Structure 1
Amino acid sequence: MRALLLPLSLLFVVELSRAAPVAADTFAPVFELAGISLLCEQAEPLVARGLTEAQQRPLGQAFTADALCADLARQLSGEFSATELQQARQLLDSDLAQRFTAAERAVGEGGGEALAQYRAQLLEQAPLQARLDLVRRLDAAAHTTALAALLRYEVGKTQALLALKARGENLDEQALSKQTAEQAKVLRQSSATAVESFMLFAYRQMPSADLAAYAALYESAVVARLLTRSAEVLPSLFAERRQAIRAAN
């Protein structure tokens, strides 16, 4: 019996460590590597785009990158251990991941002209199906299209609410979602097309074996769960902010 006490006590300690929420700022480097920080950074300028200063006033600081990502981290803090976040960080900061990140950044160095030309070529000559399948596998695993479409949709809903408020009108979240539901489908399709062509171009020099390995990295349990939960939680964070806009005078 005594021989069982030590292993059981160790197991109890392990379970406690798993249950203990990690500090929200522990997520910051992982969010940066996973592309979630970039989404947070884009939210405020996209929501404010085209709005007058008076129309922007109800936004306050709610849509700043720090506020949005901090709220997301707080929502997820009880679901991930420090060990899991470290595992995700190591995967997303691996040599393989850094090579692909460098390839992505290189696309913007020429002002995007080469990408535009490549997209025009795709209209005339489709990529190899095997290569396209790999890109789609990576896109699904990394939630790239899902997160891009989510951001565009939530921004659109927020701007629609602000326009209504400017006219002295209002819509609750359910009615707003119903009115914009068709836009979600369109945004998803256009985002998928843009993401696919970007990946095909950015990774054109990468061997297919490396592309498959990169997709597998995002399919790893902890990274997949982090991205899935982020995509599930973010809409509620935007909805909370819209509710604050409704309540503002």
Structure 2
Amino acid sequence: MKPSIRTLVAFAALAAITGLSACSKSSDSTQAAAPASAPAANLTDLASPAAQKQIADKSLPNGDASRALADFRTIDSGNEVMFLYYGLSSLPADYDKIAQSYSRDYQTTGDSFRKQDLLKALKPRIDAAIAAAKDSRYVVLNAPGASLDAYDFTRKGFQVTNVAQPGSYQYFFDNSNYTVEYTNGADHTFIKVDDEAAARAIEEMRSHYRPLTVRLYAFAQDADPASNRVKLQILHTQLLDASGRVLVQS
């Protein structure tokens, strides 16, 4: 007995429903299996010294970016870095080492009694300088050797080179034993200039090799005893012309 048209239609519908259910199930299984095939985190990279340093730097205290720029004190001497280092580290002051850099008389005299007298006189001044530095952690420094690349029309600004590069540090010639590094330097290597007139003026100066200064406003976060280094967090960046006029600030 031949099946009726109605029976054939019913079988076709049932087959279609069964086929759709199978495709859906196969798709669900594929989606569920996808996460299992994702690559695992590279624990070797996370354990590298560079990665550990980044994690440690991110845990340091942060400065207040809304702080008035007038509250930032200028650092232009290695001795000022030295006092800030001892203020942040809370390590006992190495008076002999400090005096060697701080006092020309102490550094040059060969008379042990005079050296002893000088150190006795210098100790209160050294203690006061360390205490003042500890209470004044908002600082401003000029970045030596800074230069700008040509204006970037896509990003609308200037890439800064030789400033606050990862792994680099800054020092002053009068006392190079104490240095500074910037924990967020990678975030401040590009100066945004949306205003076309300002960008044209800066590009004209840059292309004609006129002096430009990059000034960094920063917060002293910590001191690293392993390297006699002060860790700074950049809060603002300024670009100045040869006369000291601020061209742009971020």
Structure with greater helix share of residues: 1
TM normalised by structure 2 equals: 0.21
TM (norm. structure 1) is 0.21
User: Which structure features the higher share of strand residues?
Assistant: 2
Structure with bigger gyration radius: 2
